Amino acid sequence: MNQQPTKQSSSKKWLALAAVCFGLFMALLDVTIVNVALPTIQQEFDTDFSELEWIVNAYTLIFAVALITVARLGDIFGRKLFFMLGLAVFTIGSLLCALAPGINFLNISRGIQGLGASAMMSLSMAIISTTFFGKERGLAFGIWGGVSGLATAIGPLVGGVLVEKINWESIFYLNLPIGLLALVMAFFFIKETKDEQVSKSIDIWGFLLITAAMFCLVFGLIEVNKSDLGWTSPEILALLAGAVISFIAFILVELKINNPMVNPRIFKNLSFSGACIAAFSLSAGVYALFFYLTLYLQNYLGFSALEAGMRFLAISGFALVLGPVSGTVTSKVGAKPVIVTALSILALSDFMMMLVSDTQDQSNWIYLLPAFLVAGVGNGLINPPISTTAVDTVPNRIVGMASGVNNVSRQIGIAFGTAFLGALLSNQYVDAIRTNIEKLSFQGAPKGRKSRSSKGYQLRDRLPGVRG
């Protein structure tokens, strides 16, 4: 029989949610927290930008590639077990990052972090869906969404504080006490669940093919931003073709075997497919934009990492408040109206950012504040209904698979959105910042702001397509 959610004492299941949220917070925080430390790390290890990029890319690539695989292993052998393994791997990876003697060691350690994060992220929704039910599930996913939105948005702020007040290693040491606490809480409070009907054998071909497809796609989207490559370059076309071929082969194999890692028939469920499309659109249209907004605030307007991070609070501040509210509303009116409303609000915020024109005083960031506030409302509302739909519309025994697929949609959205925006902006945005670098470096930063040139690195090193 399919394993159904079982009732736990009220305090125990909410403590289980706290353990899940600790892991989720670390996994998502590390996606953005490292960005503000890159110039300091570059100076520390005396490395060029092409090597420095892999501090971010190694994490993102392994994260995305491993998501579905780890989620399915959790369905087979135990979601609690693999969530705790993910916590342990991520915590060890964080320690290795902090102790890294060189750039290559640091990049490998970031990949280890990404592997652990993939388990925490992919299994967090599955654990919630097998721990809570009814109206409580909506509230739990609301809290999950609030933590998700907060972690994504405050990464630059937390990173800025730690780098400026302590050192760059502290952004990794921060994960050690949180990871150990989450491990203890997970051991005592999370209830083990698994798919009792599925075969214990591993879908080796499915694992190899989906890994190849994800690697080629994500790596291709990352590499397309390099100055000497483009969408039509042989390297990018080969990677994208490899992704398509591997993905088609994966579908054909999964349709024929008895216990597939991912059953393609799951996409016949239109509600689940809609949740994946919404997750992709959210990441590609909003979260990918955070990277360029950070560059704009720091490299064009001349704010320090901490000053830029503080301004992102206009977006992140709504997450903890509206996340639980969104979860409760979703349980009452359904996910569809909440998702449509939230995506519409986020689209409006993007449009409002477009209205900041060259004729305005762009040295004053206040023109972006209304758009940031609107984006904060949309960001606070969107994550709970997407997560609820992804796991509520599939059989309970495959919620790990469903949450893994949904989270892969998010990661691909970030990679695609970043690459797509980079391709669109390369001839305008980068040139504008290149010109403004000289103003910041030689004329001094605007009143009340620090000149970035005093940090001992050049701003152009932060930009895709700008080298030296």
- Give the Cα separation of 468 and 460 in Å (integer): 7
Q: Residue 67 contacts by C-beta under 8 Å, 6 or more apart in sequence?
A: 118, 121, 122, 214, 404, 407, 408, 411
pLDDT at 4: 45
Average pLDDT for residues 341-366, to the nearest whole number?
76
pLDDT at 249 (0 to 100): 93
Q: What is the pLDDT of residue 428?
A: 55
Whether 341 has a pLDDT exceeding 80, the answer reads yes
Contacts of 23 (CB under 8 A, 6+ apart): 83, 86, 87, 90, 120, 124, 179, 182, 186
| Whether 164 contacts 320, CB under 8 Å | no
Q: What value does the mean pLDDT take over residues 419-435?
A: 59
Specify which of 108-112, 212-216, 363-367, 440-444 reaches the highest per-range mean pLDDT.
Answer: 108-112
pLDDT greater than 50 at residue 464? no
Q: How far apart are CA 20 and CA 80, in angstroms?
A: 10
Q: Is the pLDDT of residue 465 over 50?
A: no
What is the DSSP-derived secondary structure letter of residue 462?
A: G
Helices (H), 53-102: 54-77, 79-98
What does the pLDDT read at residue 463? Answer: 42
Q: Residue 322, CB half-sphere, CA atoms under 13 Å: how many?
A: 21
Q: At residue 51, does pLDDT exceed 70? A: no
Q: Is the pLDDT of residue 450 over 60?
A: no
d(CA 300, CA 367): 14
- For the chain, the domains span 11-203+257-461, 204-256
Structure tokens given for 175: 């994960």
Decide yes or no: CATH 1.20.1250.20 for domain 11-203+257-461.
Answer: yes
| For residues 429-451, average pLDDT | 47
Indicate if the pLDDT at residue 263 is higher than 60: yes
Cα angle 29, 65, 129; round to 5: 65
Instruction: Tell me the average pLDDT of the chain.
Output: 76
pTM beyond 0.75: no
Mention every residue, 6+ apart, whose C-beta is less than 8 A from residue 466: 227, 430, 433, 434, 460
Return phi, psi of residue 136, to 5°. -65, -30
